Chain A
């Protein structure tokens, strides 16, 4: 019984950790730059979930005030994460624009191929 309640109370955090580590793995292991950006986005979304999970109050409702309701979930994480989502998509757009430029210049979106090309150009000079 204790084990079950421990699992239920921590399942959100474990899901967050799984997503976070998945994103980290993609960023470290993959050399394809678009995939790396998606990994970064996974990491970011896991942080959103990490912020929102403790703000939930069991039996609470969304923080829109009404006379009939007494318990609300915590509004502060929602505000912070709204800002974070918009900033996240801004960085994603910026990164994708950089990748498009790199592809125009080097004809590849694989990080190690681009590094090889740059090294070869440096050696030729």
Chain B
């Protein structure tokens, strides 16, 4: 509960700050707190991934992007009243919806009596892996993981093409300008 309140406070900071560098640092702290919350929720594998990917790789990527662009946000041009209303309305509807969700930590909720308990009961006999999450990820839902790897691969190719193409084009443009300038000088 304390952790969740801290996360909420950090979110307010992320919304209000204008300096993008500070926002990125806060986002890193946010991810790390989120990993702690996941640890409390018994999701150890997810917590490890979030700490490595959310607090590690994302921060590095964001800092790299800041280095290549700008680290200050321009003041808002439009009033923030309409977005506030949209967000507030959504929040009210969602809070109303929480009364239909299962109580926190209940073992008899539909979420926990379905396929999840089947995995716990059967995975060791079928795969001989003590970590159920690994067994489900690599064995029962292997195609899911294959799809995930495909997405990451596509994203990596996309990023490489975008950044390399930019540099290649910039160079050719620069050369073309240089050639044009030379011709003008001769003329």
List A residues 22-73 near B (Cβ within 8 Å): 22, 24-26, 28-32, 34-35, 38, 41-42, 45, 48-49, 52-58, 60-66, 71-73
Is there contact, CB below 8 Å, between A63 and B102? no
User: How many chain B residues touch A (Cβ–Cβ < 8 Å)?
Assistant: 95
Q: Of A34, A54, A100, A113, which contacts B163 at CB under 8 A?
A: A100
Is there contact, CB below 8 Å, between A55 and B41? yes
Is there contact, CB below 8 Å, between B14 and A30? no
Is there contact, CB below 8 Å, between A34 and B66? yes
Which chain B residues have a beta carbon within 8 Å of chain A's beta carbons?
Answer: 1, 4-5, 7-8, 11-12, 14-15, 20, 23-24, 27, 30-31, 34, 37-38, 41-46, 49-50, 53-54, 57-58, 61-62, 64-66, 68-70, 73-74, 76-77, 80, 82-84, 86-88, 90-91, 94-95, 98-99, 101-107, 109, 111-112, 114-117, 119-120, 123-124, 130-133, 136-137, 141, 144-145, 148, 151-152, 154-156, 158-159, 162-163, 165-166, 170
A109 to B144, CA, bound (A): 35
Residue among A14, A34, A113 having the largest count of chain B Cβ atoms under 10 Å: A34
Is there contact, CB below 8 Å, between A19 and B11? yes
A63 in contact with B107 given A14-B95, A17-B94, A83-B148 (CB within 8 Å): no
